[in-house]
Amino acid sequence: MPYFGSEETVKELKRALSNPNIQSDRLRYRNYIFRVIRSMTQGLDVSALFMEMVKASATVDIVQKKLVYLYMCTYASLKPDLVLLAINTLRKDCADPNPMVRGLALRNMCNLRMPGITEYIQQPIMTGLRDKAPYVRRVAVLGCAKMQRLQTLTEIDATIVNELYGMLRDPDPVVMVNCLRALEEILQAEGGVVINKPIAHHLLNRLKDLDSWAQSEVLTFLLRYRPRSEDELFDILSLLDGFLQSGHTPVLAATLRLFLQLAAEHPAVQVDALVRARGPLLNACGAQSRELRFAGLCHVQKILKSQPGQYGAHYKRFFCSYSEPSYIKFRKIEILVELVNDENVGLVLEELRGYCTDVSLELAQAAIAAIGRIGRMYSEKCLDILTGLLGLKQEHITSAVVQTFRDLTWHCPQSTVLVCRAVEGCEETIQDAEGKQALLWLLGVHGGKINSAPYVLEGYINGLKSEMSSAVKVELLTAAVQLFLVRPAEMQDMLGRLLQYCIETRRVIQGPESDPSMGVIIGRPEEPVSNWVSTFNTLTPLCGRVTSPEPTTSGCTNHTTQNVVADPLAGTSEETEVYTPEDKQGVIGMSLGPTLLHEDFERLWLELKLSLRENLGFPGPRSSPETLQAALQLVKMQTLAFSRADTLPWKAYIYTHCSGTLVLAELLQPTAEPESDGMVLSIKQKPEDRQVLQEFVAVLKTVLQTLIKGTS
Amino acid sequence: MISQVFILTTSGDHLIYKDFRGEAGVDAIRTFYEAVTALSGDQPPVVMVGLGVQSHKGMHFVHVKQGGLYWAASTKSNPSPFTVIEFLNRLAALTKDYCGSLSEKSVRMNFALIYELLDEMVDYGYIQTTSTDMLKNFIQTETMSSKPFSLFELGNVGLFGAETQQSKVAPSAATSRPLMFTRGDQGGNEIFVDVIERLSVIIGSNGVVMKADIEGEIRVKCYLPGCSEMRIGLNEELSIGKSQLRGYGMAVRMDECSFHQAVKLDEFDAYRILKICPSQGEQTVMQYQLCDDLPCAPPFRLFPTVERDIGNSVALNVSVTLPIPKGSVSLSQELSSPDQSAELQSKNKALQWDIPRFPGGAQLSALFKLEVPGLSSASLQEVGPVSLCFELPKHTCTGLQVRFLRLTPTQPGSSQRWVRYVTHSDSYTIRI
């Protein structure tokens, strides 16, 4: 950082430091050294004073020594030749009778990061390893690691490695832990320090003597150890048991991770450990330090993925406090959504309702979205609250509520009637593009049930010229067409005007894409613990998305096409069994009806066992998913959901009724190379019928292959 | 492992910068500062700086905010967040112990001391020790204190109430002074035991307590140069857990408690005595929680007014925040005494009513009239919930008491022992 007048300051300091009068006055001399360090911290380049500072290192004043060493370590790489002048003093200090001086000198000598220093530090380090003062040994052990890093190209010194392995038995606990750390760094290329059975048990037995920092670090090293037998495993677990209740959060987290990893084969033990660690983790979530709180919350969130029921009774601990920063509040809202159950749903919703009128717009919108997500399970209560919020007539609230309504009708159709009633009259308040899109989508898809729908659309069509967002225009066009199909008389005129406008402006309207999020699997299948345990107690859970608790909102705008295509066709097929006589597959009758709802599909998919998994050996069709959907319709297979054409892994969910059985299928294109890997087909069937299954696969294959030929 | 540790002011000035591993340069600080201040509001404690700057690729910064300063650590590995956060908190706490208070000024004045601390606490990015007992042998720099300390200085008294000296309550400022290790002059023979409770309450619109949590801790701040053992006696009828019941009278109950590593608990089960050899400086001896089942009525109640129902005590610095409808333009108020104040914060859409001193058992009332153009019935939904912020000295909501405090061996001269109680509001919310 360029500093105003920096050269002047350096000159002045230089003059003062070389003034013999000042040098003889200890306090004044020290004060000038203070000023040098202060300037250094502020970013001023004071490397020009190196010579003077080296001189100042020859002193009995330890404070002064420490400061000078700090200075030297900072600038060593810039002035390697001058550092050699200081080496002598440092080496002399390494033989000082006072262990503190010895340790200080050795530590700083190893910290001088410059090439060629190794030859000077090797001898003092080896002596330091055998020093009688533990303080010096601690420094020397880490010195080994520093030395190794300075000479990256040379081979690992086996004598040092052996010496360090031997020193794991050192009576001083910090020396022991430092040995582990040093070995880890030295042997990095070979996979780090080896934890064999004797070392593991030695570490476990010493655990009680260590301070909490060392404990959590040793516990992390132990993750590497695999017990040989069940008995040994349970011996270790019972030794660690006490640490699960530790009041020191780092130790608790490290223990919990070790527990979960060791007991990977014993889910019951894992659950038990999670239960026992619940109390201390909850305390971390309420800790005075809000940063610690945040870390605790992020980890609880991970646990909830596997054990949603665990924290249900403690939901009040996750209510937001008004003084908390927003990053904590967002996490808490996410957690509240995940732990909601029959008992607490009322109070959780009441609490969330309170956040909806918060000063912070983001928080209010997050709370509304959260209510919407709870609404997928408890739609009635949530709809009441959301409808009530519309009464406030505030832009951001209304917009968020309408967006939530859209997602809600998408995921649970039973809420449609109430939503249609509530949504009337919202159009005056909504100003932002996101909200308008959501409203238009609702008007288009459910316009038949909303009385005022044509008039609202008319309002938008009349104001078309002032509309900036193209996404809103596209949505408007779709909605107008959709509504025209349902209420032609009212819509005809304005649709004409709209089309006129579109033609005049020659704006090509790109078709919206399909729903990229697998709308089917929205529920919470319980994740196995192993999915997240490898990142537990690391920084990973704290990174990543923070602001938006509803990650799929952006994707929800793309519901449109799918429904447009699916609805009219599904309407024509009715519930009759249609035979396709010209094909040999016609032997079995497949039918589309009765229609399977998304949630039913999802429930069945999770319930049923896999009947068949087959690699089809050819890639997925390059044609658009809509074509695929239409093609499958012809052979009476209903596509329920599919990913966007260009996403990978690409998935599609299909179902059909066939000779009294229901067949559910998933198509999965896992990797980016369509040539190397074929699509994987998984089928679940209820009730089982082998013959039907084979017929189904044959039909599906034919359709897919035909499509591939057609496009290539 | 930690790569660098630095302390920044909110305006981005470097107060302390120490590089332990030489993995990244000083400019990492700027990268961090830009990342943390890029958005308004507080940022979560872990900031990842990935792409862009090549030398900082995949670098994580963990920071805590204390005393208006950023205490940050950078790392290239993926360590436990709990460890790094706790370490930074500990560093801040030690700085407070050594310098007396935590502020930009005290850190600036004692930068040499903090460098010394860091040098002993961390080597090559690995935490070596953070215990005051160990560190005091190595720390040589003397504290520079901005103001000379005197226990009987009148300026200190106000914080904990005016009747400080008469009622044998030490002023809270008494502990904001540096530990003096080498000199045994005035004030060297003191020990403070603080019972601090943080109350978080939600009261429903019908007056029913919906949530009441207490998080408490016993904190010992020790200035005694050599103290081998201290015994803290708590209420004998203290029961822990839901089922356990002790004694016949009103039991003091807590759900869970945990103790500092050094506490010996051999007499705890029978007599509720904690034995500890306190090291100099501040440490939390015991932490406890109580959920949902308050032994006493919550200290504040609000009908249209706020009512107090605790006798013989004072609440200080009470502030009531009431969200109000958007677009309120003016406020007229009727307050019951001149030292109170109320203001309309249109930015926060709230009304804040400050009461500097609130005598126990008293009832205060205030009438606020707001002018809201275009008021609809729905706007009324925007009113509330009311949040209260307060400090109750000499009171614990659990009823936890320190029966006695004995030091062995008996200190030569007059050692002063202080026991103080205080309850803070963590989150005290009343729905309307």
| DSSP code for B190 | E
Q: Structure tokens of A481? A: 């067409």
| H-helix or E-strand spanning residue B344 | strand B341-345
User: Token pair for residue B328?
Assistant: 């309120």
- 3-state per-residue secondary structure call for A43-111: CCCCHHHHHHHHHHCCCCCHHHHHHHHHHHHHHCCCCHHHHHHHHHHHHHHCCCCCHHHHHHHHHHHHH
Cα–Cα dist A407/A374, whole Å? 12
Q: What is the pLDDT of residue A607?
A: 81
Is there a contact between A325 and B42 if contact means CB atoms under 8 Å apart? yes
Roughly what angle, to the nearest 10 degrees, separates helices B111-121 and B81-99? 140
Backbone torsions φ then ψ of A180, nearest 5 degrees: -60, -45
Choose from A322, A331, A429 for mutation: most chain B CBs within 10 A.
A322
What three-state secondary structure class fits A552?
coil
Instruction: Judge: A74–B19 Cβ closer than 8 Å, yes or no.
Output: yes
Lookup: tokens for A24: 């003889």
Look at residue B34 and tell me whether its pLDDT is greater than 70.
Answer: yes
* Confidence (pLDDT) at B140: 76
**How far apart are alpha carbons B75 and B125 in whole angstroms?**
9
Mutate to test the interface with A, among B9, B59, B86, B200 (most CBs of A within 10 A): B86
Per-residue pLDDT at B87 exceeds 90: yes
Looking at residue A608, what is its pLDDT?
Answer: 80
B307: its two tokens: 């009512």
Do residue A249 and residue B376 have CB atoms under 8 angstroms apart? no
CB within 8 Å: A359 and B382: no
Which of A27, A92, A107, A32 is CA-nearest to residue A58? A92
Q: Do B82 and A216 touch (CB under 8 A)?
A: yes
- Give pLDDT, residue B364: 75
pTM (2 decimals)?
0.76
Per-residue pLDDT tens over the stretch B342-369: 777 777 777 788 888 777 777 777 777 7
**B402-408: strand order across its sheet:** B273-276, B229-234, B402-408
Output the pLDDT for position B290: 84
With CB atoms and an 8 Å threshold, state whether A34 touches B112.
yes
3-state helix, strand, coil in chain A (%, to 5): 65, 5, 30
Q: Do A174 and B129 touch (CB under 8 A)?
A: yes
Pair B238, B257: CB distance under 8 Å: no
Q: Can you tell me the distance from the alpha carbon of A319 to that of A339, in angstroms, rounded to the nearest whole number?
A: 12
Among A564, A551, A558, A550, residue whose Cα is nearest residue A646: A558
Instruction: Please list the residues that pair with B75 across neighbouring strands.
Output: B60
pLDDT of amino acid B226: 66
pLDDT over 70 percentage in chain B: 73
Show residues of chain B in contact with A540, CB under 8 Å.
78
Q: What residues in chain A have per-residue pLDDT under 70?
A: 1-5, 152-154, 506-525, 544-589, 592-594, 620-623, 644-648, 671-677, 710-712
Neighbours of B299 (CB within 10 A): 23
B320 Ramachandran zone, left/alpha/beta (phi>0; psi -120 to 50): beta
Distances from the Cα of A167 to the Cα of A127, A164, A184, A588, B172, angstroms: 14, 5, 14, 76, 48
Considering only CA atoms, which of A661, A667, A656 is closest in space to residue A691?
A: A661
Find chain A residues with C-beta within 8 A of B287's C-beta. Answer: 247, 283
Asked if A393's CB is within 8 angstroms of B86's CB, the reply is no
Per-residue pLDDT reduced to its tens digit, A94-134:
888 989 889 999 999 888 888 778 888 889 999 999 999 99
Nearest CA in chain A to B346: A359
Residue B189: HSE in the Cβ half-sphere, 13 Å Cα cutoff: 10
Higher local confidence (pLDDT), B161 or B77? B77
Chain segment B310-328, per-residue pLDDT in tens: 444 566 667 777 766 666 6
Could you write out the three-class secondary structure of A129-192?
HCCCCHHHHHHHHHHHHHHHHHCCCCCCCHHHHHHHHHHCCCCCHHHHHHHHHHHHHHCHHHCC
Given an 8 Å threshold on Cβ–Cβ distance, is A37 in contact with B124? no
Question: DSSP letter string over A12-26?
Answer: HHHHHHT-HHHHHSH
Pick from A252, A295, A322: which is nearest to B85 by CB?
A: A295
What's the CA gap between A234 and B84, in Å, rounded? 30
**DSSP letters spanning A419-430:** HHHHTTTGGGT-
Nearest CA in chain A to B205: A350
Q: Give me the pLDDT at residue A9, please.
A: 83
Contacts with B87 from chain A: Cβ below 8 Å: 213
pLDDT at B329 over 90: no
Q: b/e map of A353-366 (b: 16 or more CB within 10 Å)?
A: bbbbbbeeeebbbb
Name the closest residue on chain A to residue B83, using Cα atoms: A250
According to the model, what pLDDT value does residue A589 have? Answer: 64
d(CA B91, CA A627): 63
Report the phi/psi class of residue A43: left, alpha or beta, with left for phi > 0 and alpha for psi in -120 to 50: left
Give the helix, strand, coil percentages of chain B, each rounded to 5. 15, 40, 45
pLDDT at residue A132, as a whole number: 92
Beta-carbon-side half-sphere exposure of residue B19 (alpha carbons within 13 Å): 20
CA distance A391 to chain B (A): 6
